[in-house]
């Protein structure tokens, strides 16, 4: 079977060397030396400051909200976000009592439409949470300008955007914070894990205390905290994957290029934001109708190919997060299909199976 993605597994010998060090030190968690090393190396590789490693990407969002004072614990609070995303973007808000308010997406880039943000702002709005969907950069200047004008925070869900640059600088530098997911299926992973990149060092330091139960010293607790620390075994995997990241990127680009050569004049693709790089994290295509999507999935399944309908349904259509008010997102969500892309994905086999539909 050919899955939509497959975890990148680095050199076992290299991983074993890191694991040997963990066994020798007996230091398994609580900001160990490998977590410190991975933090420093990721800041260098990504070109950012104020990076905090955490145990998963959902907690990255939740800790970022709390560190920036975005919480519904004390009063009714709203955050404007996109319905065309993985459910964790919205559930992480609702989990902390913040009501997600959906605005529609751009029909071409599939990212949150900044032109619709202002109309959704109310006295309860505390933040905007845009998503760099499939690693495609949002209109960051427009979003940041609206947020600054109205005095609200911006937290970018950058789970798909590892390594993406915009106008020559890290995309993660935009907003008050940007979060990353290091889940096993991501381009860069630590098996499970995530990170937050803060604009301000003060927010980083507050978050650092939060992820360790709010403990600030041997006998002091100054924050309402949680356990969101990354452990040494996660960091060991991350360091090995980072060592081989260029090889992984090159292999994924080769798969992407094969798809574009075979399918480029047959399908509709996401419009890439000018000035932003591509990390080849996903290969989404837009088909004519939901009926056609189901037909193509059936055809590919017959060939042992398992694509995925990321992201369907549009979150505003679900009972937990409605009401439905985003027609563009709803339309895209019914017609979207992500094809297998990972370093060893047999793009020729997938493309050949797809081409049957277009003969």
CA–CA separation, 22 vs 316, rounded Å?
45
The DSSP string of 259-285 is: HHHHHTTTSB-PPPPTTB-------EE
End-to-end C-alpha distance for the chain, whole angstroms: 24
Read off the pLDDT of each residue in 247-272 and give the average, rounded to a whole number: 94
What letter would DSSP give residue 59? Answer: H
Residue 41 CB: number of other CB atoms within 10 A?
15
CATH 3.90.1150.10 fits domain 245-358 = yes
- Write down the pLDDT at residue 216: 85
- For residue 344, pLDDT beyond 70: yes
Residue 78 dihedral angles phi and psi, to the nearest 5°: -125, 155
Neighbours of 264 (CB within 10 A): 10
Q: Is 278 exposed, middle or buried (0-12, 13-18, 19+ CB in 10 A)?
A: middle
Structure tokens at 59: 């907690």
How far apart are alpha carbons 228 and 30 in whole angstroms?
A: 10
The per-residue pLDDT for 357 is: 60
Q: Express as a percent the part of the chain with pLDDT over 90.
A: 91
pLDDT at 68: 97
Average pLDDT over residues 170-177: 98
Range(s) for CATH 3.90.1150.10 in the chain? 245-358
Of the pLDDT bands very low, low, confident and very high (cuts 50, 70, 90), residue 353 is confident
Strand partners, 336: 286
The pLDDT of residue 63: 98
pTM (global) more than 0.75: yes
CA distance 193 to 11: 20
Location of each CATH 3.40.640.10 domain in the chain:
12-242
Predicted local confidence at residue 359, as pLDDT = 44
Span 220-240, mean pLDDT? 95
**Is residue 349 pLDDT above 90, yes or no?**
no
The yes-or-no verdict on residue 208 having pLDDT over 90 is: yes
User: Confidence band (pLDDT; 50, 70, 90) for 322?
Assistant: confident
Q: Is 46 helix (H, G, I), strand (E, B) or coil?
A: helix
The pLDDT of residue 200 is 98
Gap between the Cα atoms of 40 and 247, Å rounded: 21
Instruction: For residues 185 and 282, give the distance between their C-alpha atoms in angstroms, rounded to a whole number.
Output: 11
Provide the Cα torsion 300, 303, 308, 309; round to 10°. Answer: 20
CATH topology of domain 12-242: 3.40.640
Tell me which of 147-151, 154-158, 246-250, 317-321 is least confident: 317-321
Provide the 10 A C-beta neighbour count for residue 326. 23
Looking at residue 356, its pLDDT comes to 56
Residue-level pLDDT at 324: 86
pLDDT band at 358 (very low <50, low <70, confident <90, very high): low
pLDDT tens digits along 273-312 = 999 999 999 999 999 999 999 999 999 999 999 999 999 9
Give the pLDDT of residue 284.
Answer: 97
Q: At what angle do helices 327-335 and 290-302 cross, to 10 degrees?
A: 30
pLDDT surpassing 80 at residue 222: yes
* Pairwise pLDDT comparison (356 vs 291), residue with the higher score: 291
Cα–Cα distance measured from residue 159 to residue 195, given in angstroms and rounded to the nearest whole number: 9
- The whole-angstrom separation of Cα 141 and Cα 148 is 11
Q: What is the pLDDT of residues 55-81, one digit of tens each?
A: 999 999 999 999 999 999 889 999 999
**Cross-strand bridge partners of residue 308:** 338
Give the pLDDT score at 116. Answer: 95
Mean pLDDT of 261-267: 89
Which of 215-243 are b and which e, b meaning 16 or more Cβ less than 10 Å from the residue's Cβ?
A: eeeeeeeebebbebbbbbbbbbbbbbbbe
Could you give the C-alpha distances from 130 to 110, 119, 195, in angstroms and in order?
A: 11, 16, 17
More confident residue, 359 or 249: 249
Per-residue pLDDT averaged across 24-44, rounded? 98
Q: What is the mean pLDDT of residues 105-132?
A: 97
CB 177 within 8 A of CB 33: no
């Amino acid at each position: 079977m050919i899955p939509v993605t497959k975890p990148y597994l680095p050199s076992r010998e290299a991983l074993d060397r890191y694991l040997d060090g963990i066994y020798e030190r007996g230091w398994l968690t609580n900001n160990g030396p490998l977590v410190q090393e991975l933090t420093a190396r990721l800041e260098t590789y990504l070109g950012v400051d104020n990076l905090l490693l955490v145990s998963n990407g959902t907690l990255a969002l939740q800790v970022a909200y709390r560190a920036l004072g975005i919480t519904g614990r004390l009063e009714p609070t709203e955050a404007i976000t996109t319905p065309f995303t993985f459910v964790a973007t919205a559930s992480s808000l609702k989990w902390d009592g913040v009501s997600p308010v959906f605005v529609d997406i751009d029909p071409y880039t599939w990212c949150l439409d900044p032109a619709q943000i202002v109309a959704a702002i109310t006295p309860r709005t505390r933040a905007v949470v845009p998503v760099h969907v499939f690693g495609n950069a949002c209109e960051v200047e427009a979003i940041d300008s609206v947020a600054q004008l109205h005095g609200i925070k911006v937290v970018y869900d950058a789970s798909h955007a590892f390594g993406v640059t915009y106008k020559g600088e890290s995309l993660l530098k935009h907003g008050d914070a940007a979060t990353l997911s290091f889940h096993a299926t991501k381009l860069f992973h630590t098996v499970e894990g995530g990170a937050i990149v803060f604009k301000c060092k003060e927010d980083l330091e507050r978050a650092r205390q939060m992820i360790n139960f709010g403990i600030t010293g041997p006998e002091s607790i100054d924050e309402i905290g949680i356990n969101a620390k990354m452990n040494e075994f996660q960091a060991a995997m991350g360091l090995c994957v980072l060592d081989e990241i260029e090889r992984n990127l090159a292999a994924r680009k080769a798969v992407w290029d094969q798809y574009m050569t075979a399918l480029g004049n047959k399908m509709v693709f996401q419009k890439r934001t000018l000035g932003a790089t591509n990390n080849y994290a996903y290969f989404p295509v837009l088909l004519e109708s939901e009926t056609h999507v189901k037909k193509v999935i059936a055809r590919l399944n017959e060939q042992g190919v398992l694509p995925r309908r990321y992201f369907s349904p549009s979150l505003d259509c679900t009972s937990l997060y409605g009401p439905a008010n985003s027609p563009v997102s709803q339309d895209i969500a019914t017609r979207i299909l992500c094809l297998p892309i990972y370093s060893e994905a047999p793009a020729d086999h997938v493309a050949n199976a797809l081409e049957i539909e277009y003969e």
